[in-house]
């Protein structure tokens, strides 16, 4: 049963991320902004979910492993950095990873603290 819940969460997370990517394209934002946005929001939600889901393993697995696992993306983040290097956008290539890591850690902490 838990496998199906994780798969359902993953499908929902992946389609939500795709929607954010398309929305950012429509807003004519740089390609890496969508990845930064989903990873930042996902970090905040992860902090909240880990705090709230401690007693409810099934719901927590659906949301953290399934939805957030598919919604957030490290591989796309890494590929975005490679594209920035290829485009010789060195300022963004340095700033994007630093901000992503910093905001991710701060947002997980904030999400955890919201319900403490």
Q: What is the pLDDT of residues 11-37, one digit of tens each?
A: 999 999 999 999 999 999 999 999 999
To the question of whether residue 72 is assigned a binding role by annotation, the answer is yes
Task: Please state, rounded to an integer, the average pLDDT across all residues of the chain.
Answer: 94
pLDDT at residue number 105: 98
Per DSSP, the three-state class of 115 is coil
Residues 64-112: pLDDT tens digits? 999 999 999 999 999 999 999 999 999 999 999 999 999 999 999 999 9
Put simply, whether the predicted model's pTM sits higher than 0.95 gets the answer: no
Phi then psi for 12, rounded to 5 degrees? -65, -40
To the question of whether residue 15 is assigned a binding role by annotation, the answer is no
- Burial readout 35-60 (b: 16 or more C-beta within 10 A, e: otherwise): bbbbbbbbbbbbbbbbebbeeeeeeb
Residues 38-74: pLDDT tens digits? 999 999 999 999 877 766 778 889 999 999 999 999 9
pLDDT at residue number 55: 67
Name the nearest CA neighbour of 68 among 2, 109, 16.
16
pLDDT at residue number 38: 98
């Amino acid at each position: 049963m838990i496998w199906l819940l994780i798969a359902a969460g993953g499908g929902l997370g992946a389609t939500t991320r795709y929607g954010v990517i398309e929305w950012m394209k429509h807003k004519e934002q740089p390609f890496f902004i969508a990845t930064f946005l989903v990873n930042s929001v996902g970090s905040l939600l992860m902090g909240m979910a880990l705090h709230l889901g401690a007693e409810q393993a099934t719901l927590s697995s659906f949301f953290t492993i399934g939805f957030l696992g598919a919604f957030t993306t490290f591989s796309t983040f890494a590929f975005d950095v490679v594209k920035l290097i290829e485009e010789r956008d060195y300022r963004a290539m340095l700033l994007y990873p630093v901000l992503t890591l910093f905001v991710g850690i701060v947002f997980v902490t904030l999400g955890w603290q919201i319900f403490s």
